Structure 1
Amino acid sequence: MHAWPASEVPALPGKGRDLRIHDTATGGRVTLDPGPVARIYVCGITPYDATHMGHAATYNAFDLVQRVWLDTKRQVHYVQNVTDVDDPLLERAIRDGKDWVELAEGETALFREDMTALRLLPPKHYIGAVEAIPGIVPLVERLRDAGAAYELEGDVYFSVESDPHFGEVSHYDAAAMKALSAERGGDPERPGKKNPLDPMLWMAAREGEPSWDGASLGRGRPGWHIECVAIALDHLGMGFDVQGGGSDLIFPHHEMGASHAQALTGEYPFAKAYVHAGMVALDGQKMSKSKGNLVFVSKLRRDGVDPAAIRLTLLAHHYRADWEWTDQVLQDAVERLGRWRAAVSRPDGPSADALVEEVREALANDLDAPAALAAVDRWAERQDADGGTDEAAPGLVSRTVDALLGVAL
């Protein structure tokens, strides 16, 4: 599966700062110190209802992580999946009277278009669940043969008790885990499971549903969590720098994925930091596919909204915050974009050397994009009030906003 084209990232004078970011697993801020190549895995979409603003906010956050790392002169090895076969996708295809493959391919193509328009840097490896199945099957077999998984009526479940570190990503109690499991694709009430929280690794073929050869597992399809584990281990290995996604993935997805990988390899941790973006609401409720209260990037683009303004709307909110999409927050971003473009269109201006360092420091401080935007606002205000004589300043501001915030002025 191919990703989308990369926009050029301008080089800035000097060097960026190491990223200090909130780690869900420890509950505090950690300083990331990758080697020459920083490794990041961000969980991708299940391709229907793409790309809504919750998606966009999440991938915008991890685009900032990449840009901070690139500014430190590191390379970035970014991997993202597409869950192109799963119960919700199949259910949506039936509801809409579409072939599930056609639905997945169309929505993935739209997602690529939206990511390109928003100038989000693409992953080096963009892998679909279906194409990953040949690598998933041996992992499930290994877990089963090691006693970390068991069969139940043809399905294969992972035993959470096989990982001594289970629970160390979310730190939720058993009651919360059980409730979230039921809400987010698990089956804690199924009779015969060793532990209600045990997640499915391999679903035996169901009549009328797609299935693949699972070797000794029989025909079927993979569970959600093992998909990401197989892709991450294949392309990044254990102990990569950041596992990212929305806060709704903390449990069960990231908790279970970590345990799968740790049980498979005997190594710990799966990822050095678990980083999660907040949820976006509309009309007082979290945007969700089930509720249908979604704002789509593609719809805004068709209505003539500049993608740079959409991106500035996202950047105006701290990535970990839950916030609400309104017409006003978009209008504020449109006006900000206009002010910035007017400020950099002049032939000279106030020195921007300090601005570069302000934006760097803001982003290194747990991706504080609102502080970075405020710094650019202040430069634009000085430009509007007094101007300046530095002929290089407008160009430097444009390159800074482009390189670090992904916004083309």
Structure 2
Amino acid sequence: MASAITTLAADAPTLSAANTGFMLICSALVMLMTPGLAFFYGGMVRVKSSLNMLMMSFISLGIVTILWVLYGFSLAFGTDSGSLIGWNSDYVGLSGIGITELWDGYTIPVYVFAVFQLMFAVITPALISGALADRVKFSAWALFTALWVTVVYFPVAHWVWGAGGWLFELGVIDFAGGTAVHINAGAAALGVILVIGKRVGFKKDPMRPHSLPLVMLGAGLLWFGWFGFNAGSWLGNDDGVGAVMFVNTQVATAAAMLAWLAYEKLRHGSFTTLGAASGAVAGLVAITPSGGAVSPLGAIAVGAIAGVLCAMAVGLKYRFGYDDSLDVVGVHLVGGVAGSLLVGLFATGGVQSDVAGLFYGGGFAQLGKQAIGVAAVLAYSLVASALLALLLDKTIGMRVGEDVEVSGIDRVEHAETAYDFSGAGGGTTSRNTAATAPAASKKVDA
């Protein structure tokens, strides 16, 4: 008995300064992804709604952070109840956690794990916003964000990652969020746009990106931050798995970008910057669930398949008539589904676990588990998100008026515009100087 106790005490994890520092850096990288997403989306919309698009991402940093501290962390990662939800009163307000208390089985403090997972919770509803560009009241969006993370994200995160969660116990592999983040957000986007309808002028008026440089900047920030998103999800850096995930993140993203561009050239005759940025994001999405299970060669396959599938999928909105403004369904839902299912084909059994996919002698077992995870999250998020949107639409109203949408949502919802051209060609004359200028000078300037 004493010997056993001594062995257990000796084997108990101790706080690792290296892993703690690594995870804090990864948390900061994931936080940077939300402003990166804001730039990515903000550049893709028309100039009259670019600020609104930026704010729809940015506000998630405020709302979700507070809810996570109050009860979100407890619901997602507290003690399991019925394999559906968690709860731990010590996690409410993060008030009952010791500063050196370790996350169970790991060498990092609970606080570090909590803040790392917070950043995932922040970016997931922000992903949804890209499907709703130009037409949603900001107040309604803010309320939807609060309700959605409570009803959808926190429970799904527990299913997938929480000890006792039913998908976790089933053995569904989701290294960093293919189901919990990307399928969840993509299905939610589809559910909401089916409720609120199309933009004015959809399929009739040109709705081209107003700033492709912003899109490329946002994609670059996402790519950079995604290394923390993916490699950090192993919660340490002791056994090399995080390093494999880091490599696979780069490899799959490169393959997806090239595959998207190749498809685009063959299909439309051009290599576009928007295609390069979108292809990169598609690869990042697809490798997120699978990168800890596949080899670098498998990552090339995952990225290339996702790049082509997502490039094909973005055109489906015109065929089926749903207005997914910035292709959240086409990139995040389709990319998340592809990456999650491809685990069942390309898992080597030699990285994060000994589970092998079909192409490595593992049969169809893991592919079946992955399909269950994909279907469950997709269905729950789609239905729950549509019901939340319907509730808000019937009460406070989700959409701005048609005149506001046509004239520009930025001025009405935020009393600002993204770019001020009033002084173009007139130097740096201040507002006060212009107001007091002599009449003759004004006449000449005009």
Normalised by the length of structure 2, the TM-score is: 0.26
Normalised by the length of structure 1, the TM-score is: 0.28
Structure having the larger proportion of residues in strand: 1
Q: Highest CA radius of gyration, 1 or 2? A: 2
